[in-house]
Structure 1
Amino acid sequence: MPTRTDQLRLDDGTAGLPVWLPASGRGPGLVLIQEIFGLDAYLAGVAEDLAALGYVVAVPELFRRFAPGWSSAHDEAGVTRAMEVSGAFDPARGLSDVLATLAHLRALPEVTTGAGVLGFCLGGSLAFSAAAAGTPDIAISFYGSTVASDLASLAEVTCPLQFHFGGQDPFIPRSDVRAVEEAVASHPGAEIHVQEDAGHAFHNNVAPMFHNPEAAARAWELTTGFLRRALPA
């Protein structure tokens, strides 16, 4: 459960913003960005894991304008329904929400030494977009499906940036991942890790159809190491 719920000020009103605090009560900030499944048990678990590492974590509800409180099952029917619901999502509006959450974190007295973004799937794409907007101190993107088509934006990224992909992802062709690998090779401060034995959403431990425990463990070790180097708690 979140430690508290803040009120996030947006250009079209306010929204509840779940916030997880570390045991110390303060630390660097992280915006955790959802998959199409919404703020569910998986995302809450990731928030708890990050808070346990010493981060102040905030999770904006990106679908609140058209599906408040949305979360779905992690099976074939749930994926189908989640894709239907996410069809109403406006990426530009979502990016605005992410950046507003980042600004909110930076203004909190509990947040020290900067704030970054970390996202999965839909959130992985938005994490990259936020990095290109030039505002986070660090960005981590897990299997963002629009990353390859937006690689021109990589030139705008100045913060440390880490990508994760699955080599067997049916939603992101390996050729797209290869294009990201080639672009990252010449971009200072960026790195990419591909779990060749994993598919999409391999880190989601409440989705049996996606979860790859071994790949998830490897990727999470790389993630926490990156956080320790670039935004230490």
Structure 2
Amino acid sequence: MTDKDLRARAIALYDRFTHDHHDRRAFLAELTTLAGSAAAANALAAAIAADPAAAAIVPADDKRLKTGEASWKTGTDRTMTGYRASPANAKGPLPAVLVIHENRGLNDHIRDVTRRVALEGFLAVAPDFLSPAGGTPADEAKAREMIGALDLAAAVQDGAATVRWLKTDKAGNGKVGAVGFCWGGAMANRIAVAAGSALGAAVPYYGPAPDPAEAARVKAAMLLHYAGTDERVNATAKPWIEALKAAGVPVQSYFYEGTFHAFNNDTSAERYNKAAADLAWDRTIRFLKERLG
């Protein structure tokens, strides 16, 4: 087995562990068999997993930005909390972008991505979809467990309500988009269905798609990014893309050859692909500016 094959098989194992069965003991047993030793398996797992201590691309205290925690109502008995960032010297109302986290909740990496979005000239808000359960914990395994236990329908409605709230934000121009990664990519798709015309644009990164029958409810322009080797997610991609086109939704889709699920996450040494991430990011920012400006 080549190093390339080992890497691909290890990442596939990790993907199943984090998205399907969540059995760490079984995952490490399989990875040990694959890698040849427990030490090699642990080293490989650490390189694949996101590193919560990785340095931010945009520092939390960047003077070009105004940042802070936020809270808002999504229903009579539901409150969401999250992180907000916008350019410090904005000259007028800005288009707003919802930044939707992975299945580890609202962590420092997603806060960093939110700041990156804000530096591009947007009012960026990252909701913590674990707010109803007390918020994202520091333990990523616990966060994944809590994500799996969420009432998905209620979470989607929280997202759609957040879109409507952002449309009325005084710092915004009344136009709202969404970008999401992994679990957040799936949520961006679902919010596009639920929010209807309130959402102007959505950019799901490697997000499993909803039932294609839901495509007719989407009114936002869609930009879809997929990892070339991501068989689990890509199995849902083509039917969703075709259904969106058939429904008359403006849609662009890209498959990045040779990349793995989570290729945009620069805190994961084994899965991050800088060339693909940079290209997808450039396409994302251009798309959001065209649709929301």
Q: Normalising TM by the smaller chain, what interval?
A: 0.7 to 0.9
TM-superposed CA distance for 1:67, in Å, is 5.1
Q: Which TM-score applies when normalising by structure 1?
A: 0.86
- Residue in 1 that maps onto 2:205: 142
Question: SS in structure 1 opposite 2:226?
Answer: strand
TM-superposed CA distance for 1:113, in Å, is 4.3
Is it true that 1:16 corresponds to 2:81 in the alignment? yes
Q: More deviation in 44-53 or 58-67?
A: 58-67
Q: Are the structure 2 counterparts of residues 188 and 63 from structure 1 closer, same or farther at C-alpha, using a change threshold of 3 Å?
A: closer
Identical-pair percentage:
27
Matches within 5 A, 1:33-182: 33-66=100-133, 68-72=135-139, 78=141, 82-133=143-194, 134=196, 135-145=198-208, 147=209, 149-172=210-233, 174-182=234-242
Question: SS in structure 2 opposite 1:118?
Answer: strand
Rg: which structure is higher? 2
Query: Distance between the aligned counterparts of 2:105 and 2:138, measured in 1?
Result: 5
Q: Which TM-score applies when normalising by structure 2?
A: 0.70
Letter in structure 2 aligned against 1:96: Q
Among residues 70, 82, 88, which one is paired with 1:6 in the alignment? 70
Superposed CA deviations along residues 9-36 of structure 1, whole A, max 9, x for unmatched, are: 1322434332111233441111111111
Query: Distance between the aligned counterparts of 1:97 and 1:22, measured in 2?
Result: 26
Query: Distance between the aligned counterparts of 1:177 and 1:185, measured in 2?
Result: 12
- Number of residue pairs aligned between Structure 1 and Structure 2: 223
Superposed CA deviations along residues 52-87 of structure 1, whole A, max 9, x for unmatched, are: 0110011111112335233555xxxx5xx5543322
Specify every segment of 5 or more residues in structure 1 that has no aligned partner in the other structure, as ranges.
none
Query: Distance between the aligned counterparts of 1:153 and 1:109, measured in 2?
Result: 32
- Residue in 2 that maps onto 1:213: 274
Is it true that 1:228 corresponds to 2:289 in the alignment? yes
Question: SS in structure 2 opposite 1:197?
Answer: coil
Is it true that 1:204 corresponds to 2:232 in the alignment? no
- Residue in 1 that maps onto 2:17: none
Q: Are the structure 2 counterparts of residues 141 and 219 from structure 1 closer, same or farther at C-alpha, using a change threshold of 3 Å?
A: same
Taking only aligned residues, the RMSD between alpha carbons, in angstroms, comes to 2.1
TM-superposed CA distance for 1:103, in Å, is 2.0
- 1:197 and 1:215 in contact (8 A); partners too: no
- 2:107 and 2:136 in contact (8 A); partners too: no
- 2:166 and 2:174 in contact (8 A); partners too: no
TM-superposed CA distance for 1:51, in Å, is 0.4
Question: SS in structure 2 opposite 1:87?
Answer: helix
Query: Distance between the aligned counterparts of 2:242 and 2:266, measured in 1?
Result: 30
Letter in structure 2 aligned against 1:143: Y
Query: Distance between the aligned counterparts of 1:84 and 1:15, measured in 2?
Result: 19
Q: More deviation in 185-194 or 30-39?
A: 185-194
Letter in structure 2 aligned against 1:18: Y
TM-superposed CA distance for 1:151, in Å, is 1.5
Letter in structure 2 aligned against 1:32: V
**Larger helix fraction of residues:** 2
Question: SS in structure 2 opposite 1:161?
Answer: strand
TM-superposed CA distance for 1:181, in Å, is 4.0
Q: Which has the higher contact order (CA 8 A, sep 6+)?
A: 1
- 2:83 and 2:111 in contact (8 A); partners too: no
Specify every segment of 5 or more residues in structure 2 that has no aligned partner in the other structure, as ranges.
1-59, 61-65
Superposed CA deviations along residues 116-172 of structure 1, whole A, max 9, x for unmatched, are: 111111111111112122020111111112x0x521111111221111111101532
Q: Are the structure 2 counterparts of residues 88 and 118 from structure 1 closer, same or farther at C-alpha, using a change threshold of 3 Å?
A: same
- 1:8 and 1:100 in contact (8 A); partners too: no
Letter in structure 1 aligned against 2:290: R
Query: Distance between the aligned counterparts of 1:24 and 1:150, measured in 2?
Result: 42
TM-superposed CA distance for 1:49, in Å, is 1.0
Letter in structure 1 aligned against 2:82: L
